[in-house]
Amino acid sequence: MQLKATLSKFIIISIFCLGGIAQAQPNQEGVVIDKIIAKVDDYIVLKSDLEQSYLNYLSQGQPRSEEARCGILESLVVNKMMAARAEIDSVEVTDAEVRSNVDRRVSAILAGIGSESEVEKQYGKSLDQIKSELFESIKEQMLVQRMQGELTAGMEVSPAEVRRFFKKIPRDSLPYFSSEVKVAQIVMKPDPGESQKEKVRQQMLSIRKQIMSGTSFESLARKYSEDGSAPGGGELPYYKRGEVAPAFEASAMTLEIGELSEPVESDFGFHLIQLQDRKGNSFKTRHILVIPKPSPDDYLMTEQFLDSLRNQIFIDSADFQAVAKEHSDDQFTSSNGGYFADQQTGSLSVSVETLDPGIFFAIDTMKIGDLSKPMRYQEKDGSYAYRVLYYKGKTPPHLANLDDDYQKIATAALNSKQNKKLNEWFLEAKNGVFIEIDPEYKHCGLN
């Protein structure tokens, strides 16, 4: 099966069908809402997990296939087994790491949909409910990834291994790559100047005065706060030391219960913080967050500074990659010296189809080797920034080969080597966990 080959090409796992698995109870209309279809120690796979993953598979334009459904079930069971073994082997992820990951995922959802109210409307749940549901699934994903990382740590492939791997691929199985480009960028996001910060500081003092005069904290949080806590009146969950911005924590830990802070500046903006409870090293607060916005002068200064960096590269022969690593505000490209990279392989040659339309149309007017002037563009969160583009090169559509696609092939070779290692681990580890599959899925051949 195509999907199963993709998911488990190098991972073979024998799963014994033990039967007797717990069934979901019908609702009042007699319809089964959900049921457990697999167990791996204390980890379970619900039928809804399988069906949702299968719908995601179909949404990518793939044909309906029972083999595909079975392949997805196998991958879900394998993940549960990895998580179960991680517990046995004391591989852990902290709640703080998971919360940070959840916050990034939710921020990405908000950026894509546009507003918290629209997110809650589309999902039919509050943002807190979404975060709560994401927490356990993301924790499991991180646990599996960490376990895989432990097993494959330090593995590399030599050029000789890459060549041997490539030679074993039948010519009629070689992938055909569309047109690819090498493009780098230096991004600068305007920071609000002191005058803008002072405006917000004065606004926060005014809000604080209203609260001290008896105006409801909740109503002012809903009106002014610029984060996801606003609809809930600024309410935040319990946090432990080290889980929030240092300035926020330092202020919260010095407050008495019920006390309201002066304006506190953190990397996120300005906060008014009210301590609600403290239990040992944990504390619960509510806050109002207002974020200073860059002024027109701040934008102009950013554009001028970026242009000066461009001149260093263009006129003074400064190294683009070094400048990008030092100055670029884009976390996804700065570590690559500004270059966009293929997320799967790490190759600096990327398909033109994966580029942001703004970048695609910009390089379409450039020549190989060109360095653009600073260009203003809009980020997903609606803010504006500037970037300089460097058009390094272009590769026409071609059949995979070692000269043009070494990094992609090296990544595939490393994946093959890592999966062989994981396969060996699975064959040993499967006897150390309890695995049970619903008889309904006997046809999937997981026994």
| 117: enclosing H helix or E strand | helix 116-123
Are residues 27 and 140 part of one domain? yes
Looking at the structure, tell me whether residues 56 and 202 fall in a common domain: no
Residues 383, 434, single domain; the answer is no
Same structural domain for residues 279 and 146? no
Per-residue pLDDT tens, the chain, 447 aa: give them.
322 233 333 333 323 233 334 444 444 444 445 789 988 888 888 998 899 888 988 888 888 888 888 888 888 888 888 888 888 888 888 888 888 888 888 877 776 676 677 777 888 888 788 888 888 889 888 988 898 888 899 999 999 999 999 999 999 889 888 899 999 999 999 999 999 999 999 999 999 999 999 999 999 999 999 988 888 899 998 888 888 899 999 999 999 999 999 999 998 999 999 999 998 888 999 999 999 999 999 999 999 999 999 999 988 888 999 999 999 999 889 999 999 998 878 889 999 888 999 999 999 999 999 999 999 999 877 889 999 999 999 999 999 999 989 988 999 999 999 988 888 887 777 777 788 888 888 888 775
Asked if residue 30 and residue 149 are part of one domain, the reply reads: yes
Are both 18 and 148 inside the same structural domain? yes
- 245 and 256 co-located in one domain: yes
Q: Look at residue 241 and tell me if it is in a domain.
A: yes
Three-class SS string for 233-266? CCEEEEEECCCCCHHHHHHHCCCCCCCECCCEEE
- Would you say residue 46 lies in a domain? yes
Q: Where residue 55 sits, what CATH number does that domain have? A: 1.10.4030.10
Which of 272, 290, 308 is the last residue in one of the domains?
290
- Do 439 and 337 reside in the same domain of the chain? no
| Co-location of 218 and 272 in the same domain | yes
Q: 184 - beta bridge partners?
A: 339, 390
How many independent structural domains does the chain possess?
3
Q: Which domain holds residue 108?
A: 2-156+403-444
Q: Which two tokens stand for residue 85?
A: 């073994």
- Residue that finishes a domain, picked among 255, 290, 325: 290
For the domain that residue 266 is a member of, what is the CATH number? 3.10.50.40
Q: Report the alpha-carbon distance of residue 424 to residue 44 in Å, rounded.
A: 24
- On whether both 305 and 384 belong to a single domain, the answer is yes
Is residue 319 situated within a structural domain?
yes
